[in-house]
Amino acid sequence: MSDITVYGATGLVGQLVARYLASINAPSVTLAGRNRPVLAALRDELNQHWDIAIAAADDADAVEHMVENTKVLITVVGPYSLYGGHVVAACARHGVDYVDLCGEVPFIRRSIDSHHATAQSTGARIVHSCGFDSVPSDIGMLNLYQAAGKPFARV
């Protein structure tokens, strides 16, 4: 069982997340997605001790297996209205913390309506839109910090 699974790890945002986890030496990570060779290449580049999980979003059994083997699932597989339903449901059922960067309000509403009670009973924390609105300003502040070359006293 891994501490963190990055679902959609080979896409642009998934790679950014995986590279960040590698930069902080996160020891227990699973890279997940549909393409084993591409996942394996990314894993071999970042940390050969990390695991790989193969799961297409429309394969409920594969999603279930992926979720059962992690504590936190970070998903960047969208559009969430098409590919997120099984993932949120499985996390809620298994008490697995879930994070996405979804901006699809109808999906988020359906997710809350369908899975809030289950997540509450299992202890799963379902966090939609994590960083969604803050990403541009966060990246801007990172760029300013890097250009300044020293910590800010105040932002």
The string of pLDDT tens digits covering residues 47-96 is: 999 999 999 999 999 999 999 999 999 999 999 999 999 999 999 999 99
- Distance (Å, whole) CA 30 – CA 99: 15
Global pTM reads 0.85
**How far is C-alpha 61 from the geometric centre of its chain's CA atoms?**
19
Question: What count of other Cβ atoms lies within 10 Å of the Cβ of residue 135?
Answer: 12
Which pLDDT score is estimated for 123? 98
Domain that holds residue 110: 2-148
Residue 71 lies in a domain: yes
Residue 51 lies in a domain: yes
Summarised one tens digit per residue, pLDDT across range 115-133 is 999 999 999 999 998 876 6
Dihedral pair phi/psi, residue 133, rounded to 5°: -85, -20
Residue 18 lies in a domain: yes
Pair 39, 32: CB distance under 8 Å = yes
Q: What is the CATH number of the domain that holds 98?
A: 3.40.50.720
Residue 96 lies in a domain: yes
Residue 89 lies in a domain: yes
Report how many domains make up the chain: 1
